[in-house]
Amino acid sequence: MSNLLNSTLSVINVGLSHFADSLDAQGIPTARVKWSPPAGGDPVLARFLRSGLQSIAQKVEEANARAFKHIINAEPYWVGIKRARDVVPGMEPNVILHSGPPISWDRMAPVQQKGILGAVQHEKLAEDEAGALRLVESGAISVRSAMDMGVAGAGAGIVSPSMVVNVCRERNTGKEAYCVPFEGRVGLGVWGVYNPEVEATLHRIETVLGPAIDKALAASDGIPVRNIIAQGLQMNDDTHTRQTAEGYILVSEIVPLLLQADLSNAILQECVDLFVSSERWFHPLGIASALSVLKGIKGMEYCTLLCTMCGNAVDYGIQVSCLGDRWFTSPSPYLTGMYLSPKWSQKDAVPWMGDSCIVEAYGLGAFSGAAAPAVIRLRGGSYQDGIQQSEEMKQITTGVNYNYPIPLLGFSGPPTGIDILKVGMTGITPLAHGGIISHQGGQIGAGVVRLPFECFRDAIHGVSERYGLQA
Amino acid sequence: MSNLLNSTLSVINVGLSHFADSLDAQGIPTARVKWSPPAGGDPVLARFLRSGLQSIAQKVEEANARAFKHIINAEPYWVGIKRARDVVPGMEPNVILHSGPPISWDRMAPVQQKGILGAVQHEKLAEDEAGALRLVESGAISVRSAMDMGVAGAGAGIVSPSMVVNVCRERNTGKEAYCVPFEGRVGLGVWGVYNPEVEATLHRIETVLGPAIDKALAASDGIPVRNIIAQGLQMNDDTHTRQTAEGYILVSEIVPLLLQADLSNAILQECVDLFVSSERWFHPLGIASALSVLKGIKGMEYCTLLCTMCGNAVDYGIQVSCLGDRWFTSPSPYLTGMYLSPKWSQKDAVPWMGDSCIVEAYGLGAFSGAAAPAVIRLRGGSYQDGIQQSEEMKQITTGVNYNYPIPLLGFSGPPTGIDILKVGMTGITPLAHGGIISHQGGQIGAGVVRLPFECFRDAIHGVSERYGLQA
């Protein structure tokens, strides 16, 4: 057994025994951490966590250690940019995706509804919004959760068959995940906005720029995303709200490939402009990479780590490794943070919407708060607050990812591998960084969200059912 | 009078009066700062600083505030890459430059001597080293201090008329400064190494790549170096030992210009490779920019800020604004730090050699230690040590440069504008980051150097003489 596995197990044992010995005494690491009642104050859950789990505890620990090892050793690469219909399994001509857990049309947030109607028009299945609505209501359009299709939908998460997606592949498993390219401040995929300008941008990337970049990538082994993230976390990026350094590094990686791809100078200039004109081109690559990694632990018996976390502006949903595709949902929470204009406030914002927080399940974003003082500062915090935030998340994770050394953590890595049992024990739920999105679509701020406890409680009961344990 | 000027003056007054009131009591800010005796323990100097300066104190304060304002408002741009003979005033065909203050041939370190002999051959003035030596000893070659010619010589600082130099221009004054392009781990300019491989590299950049890049720059307004440094200091760069982020940002700035310069694809690829294959291409741009800024305060009456600091592996020299071109020298100090291999130690290293520490006089490098935990870690330090280092340098500087916000200083800027009077009062001399260079030429480590006090003491006496004060 490797040293890594040993040390991971010992960390877990400490957590479990400490909990069993002193449940009521369990407090908070420092005065600055928001206090949360252990087991969310739920006595049934507390009893289950204290004693009901004993019969599978060893198997859980081993499975979680194995999953953690997979996560930190994973090697995601950006390998292509393709039409969704050509790479996403099951992406039939009438399928349109949205972010978050599945939701019925009548409960769906207007911003996602508008995005889906826009995508129907983009697919030329309808000529206007009214026609698109008729198709959706008739059932001719199959509206699906992106995550259920193996796609990460950032923001509104709108993906239709003709749209291009970045393809990221995790080398150790070969598993792929997908996320639409960054569209700027206006766009269909992330913001659910559809108009002639958006259509023109989509058309250009689908027919010219996407194929050009894909050609450049195809002639290479792909671009190593882990290496870029490892550098970015030392350069003030959290890889969720900020990927400024990662975007610059990406330029240095992609330009030499583009220059070798036999493209015209005009197309070269247009492709390069795409990358250098935005700080956030790397964002969907981080998202798709995180999902490609976490697909590798989905369905792992006895593993209690999160493999999916996402929202659709109405429901927030999680999936747990050992429970496969089963969703556990709570009402989607609101972000707190800074609005881009004083005219905006929470009443203008939708609750958490998007699959981008899959990066948190991979140890990035809020879990790497110590890496990014610039992000913490957006909501008035200091670098010490960022360190504190990463330290808090350590209490609900399996270990630290030493492949991602963070200077302010003494070059130790971010807390990684969210264990729903530790969430249950401590009552501390994960944090996620992210953009604040308006009801109309479009970013109006940036901040942080604390996930609801209830979906974790339900997921723990799900584990209990799955293994026939007594609650 | 601007608020800036007011606040700067008040800072200086506090320093002077505090010194006058409690010279003997003056201590150290925290236990971690190396203690230095005020006035270097020199009673004559102490008396002069306490009372001898009173008659010019107001003029000094105003001049220093004006100089400080110039420094922080300066806007250096990278505007070209040209043959030294075409841009450096006085760069006659027989002139060869070295780093540091002027030094006679017989006192010069072997690594600089070898570099100068290599440059004579590169200029095709001699066919071999023996022939080159005869020319130097005959006086046919004019060996000059680079700084005396307005050039910053990194490392050995070898510059000959045919070599290309980066041209940086400070926009508010139009003043230009020059530094040879980064050569990699082996090269003539920085490391004093000359052989057929080095000759081939020099020939390529002088005849093909330099002109290509210069063409791209010439069609633009130049590349704004201040903007790149401002980002780099938020991304773990100190802009002396590390400029990783700045190098990436530079790629994003230069590639679009190269693509518009009507270059062949092969030359484009070669130019891009030059930038992406090294993390340190930005280094000479930071150096030349710092010098272009500090040229703007040279010769300013009553100004007691450093405008030059550099070494030649034998002598370390400084120049003070109000004393113009006059040098004050001390024996060059050794760096302490990490060697790249355990086989090396201080006996393999030369004392400080190079003009790169001009970036420290601009508030970067060691003064921005708080910006770069990765650099501090090279010698075993923590991010807290980096903060402490910047805080210590605050005691000998005029203010902080708010155009360069540093996350770990609460997004305040680096201490900037080294005042020799404050060095005298506190006994604290400047620190500089830098590479450790072997006797043979070539980098064998990286670390930090503490400058000797004596040259500062002599410079303060120089101020006394200049203004007819009683020591």
For the stretch B364-421, pLDDT in tens is: 999 999 999 999 999 999 999 999 999 999 999 999 999 999 999 999 999 999 999 9
Print pLDDT tens along chain B (471 aa): 333 333 333 223 333 333 333 333 333 233 334 567 788 888 889 988 988 899 999 999 999 999 999 999 999 999 999 999 999 999 999 999 999 999 999 999 999 999 999 999 999 999 999 999 999 999 999 999 999 999 999 999 999 999 999 999 999 999 999 999 988 788 999 999 999 999 999 999 999 999 999 999 999 999 999 999 999 999 999 999 999 999 999 999 999 999 999 999 999 999 999 999 988 999 999 999 999 999 999 999 999 999 999 999 999 999 999 999 999 999 999 999 999 999 999 999 999 999 999 999 999 999 999 999 999 999 999 999 999 999 999 999 999 999 999 999 999 999 999 999 999 999 999 999 999 999 988 889 999 999 999 999 999 999 999 999 976
Residues on chain A touching B409 (C-beta within 8 angstroms): none
Taking the Cβ of residue B255 and every Cβ of chain A, the question of whether any pair is shorter than 8 Å is answered with yes
B227, B243, B251: best mutation site toward chain A, by most A Cβ within 10 Å? B251
What is the greatest pairwise CA distance in chain A?
Answer: 68
Q: Count other C-beta atoms under 10 Å from residue B51's C-beta.
A: 12
Query: Phi then psi for B361, rounded to 5 degrees?
Result: -65, -15
A269 touches chain B (CB under 8 A): yes
**Which residue does chain A place closest to B267, by CA atoms?**
A259
Would you state the pLDDT for residue A471?
62
Average pLDDT over residues A179-191: 90
Which pLDDT belongs to residue A24? 30
Residue A33's pLDDT is 46
Q: Chain A within 8 Å of B250 (Cβ-Cβ)?
A: no
Distance CA(A249)–CA(B251), nearest Å, equals 9
Q: Looking at residue B36, what is its pLDDT?
A: 73
pLDDT score at B470: 76
Query: Given an 8 Å threshold on Cβ–Cβ distance, is A235 in contact with B251?
Result: no
The string of pLDDT tens digits covering residues A348-370 is: 999 999 999 999 999 999 999 99
CB-CB under 8 Å, B377 with A407: yes
Question: At residue A226, does pLDDT exceed 60?
Answer: yes
Q: CATH fold of A76-288, please?
A: Enterococcus faecalis V583 fold (3.90.1710)
> Nearest C-alpha of chain A: how many angstroms from B286?
19
Check CB contact under 8 Å for B410 and A249. no
Q: Is domain A3-74+298-466 in CATH 3.10.129.10, yes or no?
A: no
Q: Residue A279 has what pLDDT?
A: 80
pLDDT, one tens digit per residue, over B37-83 is: 788 888 889 988 988 899 999 999 999 999 999 999 999 999 999 99
- Name, in order, each residue with C-beta under 8 angstroms of A251's C-beta and a sequence gap of 6 or more: A272, A275, A276, B248, B251, B252, B255
Counting Cα atoms < 13 Å in the Cβ hemisphere of B192 gives 30
B380 close to A (CB below 8 A): no
Q: Where are the domains of chain B?
A: 3-74+298-466
B378 bridge partner residues: none
Strand residues in B180-246 grouped as ranges (E)? 223-224
Tell me whether B377 touches chain A (CB under 8 Å).
yes
Mean of pLDDT values over A250-262:
98
pLDDT at B38: 81
Q: Do B245 and A259 touch (CB under 8 A)?
A: no
Closest CA to B363 of B464, B294, B426: B294
Q: CA of A396, closest CA in chain B: separation in Å?
A: 26
Interface predicted TM-score (ipTM): 0.91
Query: How is residue B251 written in tokens?
Result: 């790629």
Cα distances from B411 to residues A241, B231, B370, B402, in angstroms, run 18, 12, 11, 8
- Determine how many CB atoms are found less than 10 A away from the CB of residue B219: 11
Report yes or no: A373 at the B interface, CB cutoff 8 Å. Answer: yes
The pLDDT assigned to B183 comes to 83
Q: Which member of A235, A249, A256 has the closest CB to residue B273? A: A256
Confidence of residue A10 (pLDDT cuts 50, 70, 90): very low
CB atoms under 10 Å from CB of B140, counted, come to 12
Cα–Cα separations (whole angstroms), residue A243 to A234, A246, A250, B235: 11, 5, 10, 11
Phi and psi angles of residue A315, each rounded to the nearest 5 degrees, phi first:
-110, 145
Q: Quick one: pLDDT band at residue A442, thresholds 50, 70, 90?
A: confident
Residue A337's SS3 state is: strand
DSSP code for B100: S
The residue with greater pLDDT, B359 or A43, is B359
Per-residue confidence (pLDDT) for residue B32, from 0 to 100: 38
For residue A329, the surrounding DSSP H or E stretch is: strand A328-331
Contacts of B269 in chain A (CB under 8 A): 256, 259-260
* B272 CB within 8 Å of a chain A CB: yes
At CA A74, angle to CA A73 and CA A79, rounded to 5? Answer: 150
Q: How far is A405 from chain B (nearest CA, A)?
A: 10
A251 touches chain B (CB under 8 A): yes
Nearest CA in chain A to B237: A235
